[in-house]
């Protein structure tokens, strides 16, 4: 195998790896966006849960029914 052939194969390999890295980077960026959306939704649900929990504490205490 000549040096020119080896260089050509190396250039092809580098080009393939560069494309793969770019695809992975795009996928990672997409997953990061999904992760941030999920974190935002989770924070909203936590806030909602805490609000409901606080309202439940302020509710009238449970008393015995009159037939006891």
pTM: 0.62
DSSP for 14-30, written as a single string: HHHHHHHHHHHHHHHHH
Give the total residue count for the chain. 68
Q: What is the reported pLDDT for 56?
A: 83
Q: How many CA atoms lie within 13 A of 49 on its CB side?
A: 6
Q: Where are the domains of the chain?
A: 29-54
H-run or E-run covering 61: none
Q: What is the reported pLDDT for 54?
A: 87
Q: What is the reported pLDDT for 1?
A: 85
pLDDT in tens, the chain (68 residues): 899 999 999 999 999 999 999 999 999 999 999 999 999 999 999 999 999 988 888 766 667 777 76
């Amino acid at each position: 195998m000549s040096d020119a052939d080896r260089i050509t194969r190396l250039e092809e390999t580098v080009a393939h790896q560069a494309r793969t890295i770019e695809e992975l980077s795009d996928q990672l960026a997409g997953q990061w966006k999904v992760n941030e959306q999920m974190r935002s939704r989770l924070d909203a649900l936590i806030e909602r849960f805490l609000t409901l929990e606080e309202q439940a504490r302020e509710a009238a205490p449970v008393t015995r029914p009159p037939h006891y």
